[in-house]
Amino acid sequence: MTHSLTTLFAAMALASSLGAGIAQASPISTDDNRITSETFANPLLRNGADPWLEYFNGNYYLTTTTWTSELVMRKSPTIAGLADAPAHNIWSGTDKSRCCNFWAFEFHPLQTADGLRWYVIYTSGVAENFDGQRNHILESEGSDPMGPYQFKGTPMPDHWNIDGSYLEYKDQLYFLWSEWHGKDQVNLIAKMSNPWTVEGEHKVITQPIHDWEKSGLNVNEGPEIIQHEGRTFLVHSASFCNTEDYALGVVELTGTDPMDPAAWTKYDKPFFSKGNGVYGPGHHGFFTSPDGSEDWLIYHGNSSPTDGCSGTRSARAQPFKWDDKGLPQFGEPLADKQQLPVPSGEFGPLKAQVEGVKYRIVNREINQCLITNAKGDVSVSRCDDKASTWVIDQANDGLYRFANVAEGTFLTQENCQDSAISGINATPWVASRCQRWSVDASHDGWFRFANERSIKNLQAANCSTKKGAAVVAGENRVSECTDWRIEPVSKFAIVNAHSGRVVSAQQCDVNANANVVQYEYTANACQQWQATPTTDGYYRLQSSQLTAQKQAQCVISVAGNLQLGSCDKDDSEWRTEYMPNGSLRVVSRKGGSSMKVAGESYANGDNIVEDVWKSTISQQFYFREVK
Ligand code: AHR
């Protein structure tokens, strides 16, 4: 499995800027229609230590240390939106050796023979203390940073090691991490045979040698790579994280072999340290702006000199430049509440292949699909290609955006004002309120989509019943022609919002009455579901395993318990409702109650039932695309 990190970043930045380049100016991108302001302030997220942030296909994704047994990820089309973006659980730990004290998540995109995959590196250990902390690695099912993820391995199970990261250099993947050697915590490197397996020697490449690296304890940790104009820099945190003197140091690969300690040259001064009321800035990451034109630093810091190395550390972001010697100039930490421009390109205009399950949006009157084209026209017509498939992307404030899979454009109310009927088109994202929609449950699995700006519902013009009808927002408040069905096209995992575990047939049993439980995702066909429409907005749920084995079994509800059974009754029919936080409520046609993880635990094997809707997180699920 080959993995190319560096070229991928270049491709991502190029794609993003291309998207910005191709798009036409949009009449709707006036300020009062913007979903966010042109500036934001730090902290981005309180209790956000060891942050990692990526901008990918139209969204920012952010993880931060949780100290618990959960790995949560936030996503938002705007950087300011990360602050109140819902914390989606993408992994939780139950294995005793790695259940607890989750620290320092990083998620890296690597090109593999199967396409782009995300690799989450995180530190965790035993419940009793921090002595068991080790790096562990997850692999995503596909190109969606939200997962689902499966556990791949623990590169070094035999000794304490934390803060893992990757270096990709001359087509070789290396693992970087920190561990104790005597009284010094040092950064090391090893070659990798795959993204979760180290091989051969471990070599120390940075250690605390200057006084500014020895405040509290002698520490080098959080090694992170940035490559610029052919040069490779390892930027690491120095001094004890519990002190205000925690700072960033820089080591450059001045030799040719990353495994040779002498090939790394440490600069003797810190490149980023306390200032402007921010203490202990460090354990950072790097990202580029949506249009790829700016380099940004994501890091944590305290707002008081005595806050220490716990939950007071907040996530912060600021741009940085390169000087005429080709060195990164991080400057000083920006003060709390100091306004700074959002990353360049956040307001587009940009096209994006937004990650997520693909859906058809089917009009009730015409029984045909919402479709667009390269010109941005939107109508109700054929259902059979990528132009009629959409990702329904949670876009903060309880609203959604509809991203077209073929064109990378977004469903838009054309004349962006409150009143009157408006035409609909699909245009590049400009962060406009005319590009966000509420997704409201009508009845029997039908939905209405109201535009944020006009609060008018999407419908076929004049309530036409003809294929090819134009689409408007406006005439009819509520009628059958404002009803739409959301039909999954992709196969998907059904991920519980609390546990990050997925709905599975117990022991992947295919027989009638097999119980349905949650289990960690293992990419097994019994965990991959497809939805078949029945009547109204209801669907049958069958796993790929069942269809492959021509087993006529579906998920059914029997006296409130979910199990496999015949697909021909109303107890096998399910509909969804969209929650403000982007999760789904999965509702039984027969019982009218909602899918739930009974024990509300992280445990593999926790039973799946239907229960009266109480808005609990164990009743909230995400459909995550599987290949
Ligand atoms: O924040 C938890 C841990 O504290 C981080 O993994 C490490 O960088 C620091 O020592």
Return all residues near 206 (Cβ < 8 A) that are at least 6 apart. Answer: 186, 187, 220, 223, 234, 236, 249, 251, 264, 266
Distance 103 CA to ligand 1 centre (A): 6
The pLDDT value recorded for residue 137 is 98
DSSP secondary structure string for all residues of 115-137 = EEEEEEEEEEE-SS-STT-EEEE
Rounded distance between C-alpha atoms, residue 212 and residue 556, angstroms: 63
Domain boundaries along the sequence of the chain? 2-341, 358-487, 491-626
User: Which residue's CA is the closest to the ligand 1 atom numbered 10?
Assistant: 241
Q: Ligand 1 pocket test: pick from 100, 177, 221 the residue with the most ligand atoms within 8 Å of its Cβ.
A: 221
Under-50 pLDDT residues of the chain: 1-3, 5-11, 13-27
Distance 170 CA to ligand 1 centre (A): 29
Atom of ligand 1 nearest to the CA of 67: 2
The pLDDT value recorded for residue 547 is 83
Q: Is 502 in the pocket of ligand 1 (CB under 6 A)?
A: no
Q: Which residue reads 């050796």 in tokens?
A: 97
User: Which residue's CA is the closest to the ligand 1 atom numbered 3?
Assistant: 103
What Cα–Cα distance (Å) separates residue 374 from each residue in 105, 120, 388, 405, 409?
39, 36, 12, 12, 9
Known catalytic residue at 221: yes
Entry pTM: 0.94
Rounded distance between C-alpha atoms, residue 50 and residue 244, angstroms: 15
Q: Is 224 in the pocket of ligand 1 (CB under 6 A)?
A: no
How many C-alpha atoms does 44 have within 13 Å on its Cβ side?
A: 31
The CATH class of 2-341 is mainly beta
CATH classification of 358-487, choosing from 3.40.50.1010, 2.80.10.50, 3.20.20.80, 3.20.20.370?
Answer: 2.80.10.50
What phi and psi, each to the nearest 5 degrees, are found at residue 94?
-125, -20
Distance 147 CA to ligand 1 centre (A): 24
The pLDDT value recorded for residue 477 is 65
| CB-based contact 301:3 (threshold 8 Å) | no
Which helix (H) or strand (E) segment is 609 a member of?
strand 608-611
Catalytic residue among 54, 221, 295, 571: 221
Q: Is 50 in the pocket of ligand 1 (CB under 6 A)?
A: yes
Q: Which token pair is 187?
A: 């950064």
Q: Is 123 in the pocket of ligand 1 (CB under 6 A)?
A: yes
* CATH topology for the 491-626 domain: Trefoil (Acidic Fibroblast Growth Factor, subunit A) (2.80.10)
The pLDDT value recorded for residue 546 is 83
Sign of the four-CA dihedral 462, 467, 471, 476: positive
Known catalytic residue at 163: no
Domains 2-341 and 491-626 share a fold: no
